[in-house]
């Protein structure tokens, strides 16, 4: 019985490690394919903001509150911004 365990246990561990490495490899390949398809989708302009929101905190009435949102065009085409509205 001990001899059988000494032989089978390493074989099962080896099989487990091999199977798990294949699963991880397949997941990484799918992730890379997804990234490539995202790159293809962003062939035109693409806007990237430093921050998406800003909290002004408590602002007294009739006081002007200002904030500048910085952004960058990370795409490969001209970025045109039209019809800007406050949310």
Q: Kindly report, residue by residue over 20-73, the tens digit of the pLDDT.
A: 677 667 777 777 776 665 555 558 999 999 999 999 999 999 999 999 999 999
79 and 73 Cβ atoms separated by less than 8 Å: yes
Residue 8 has a pLDDT of: 74
Residue 86 has a pLDDT of: 76
Residue 7 has a pLDDT of: 72
């Amino acid at each position: 019985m001990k001899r059988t365990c000494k032989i089978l246990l390493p074989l099962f561990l080896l099989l487990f490690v091999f199977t798990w490495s294949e699963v991880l490899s397949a997941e990484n390949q799918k992730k890379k394919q997804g990234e490539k398809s995202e790159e293809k989708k962003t062939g035109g302009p693409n806007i990237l903001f430093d921050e998406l929101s800003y909290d002004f905190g408590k602002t007294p009435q009739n006081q002007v509150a200002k904030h500048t949102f910085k952004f960058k065009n990370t795409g490969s085409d001209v970025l045109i911004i039209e019809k800007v509205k406050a949310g």
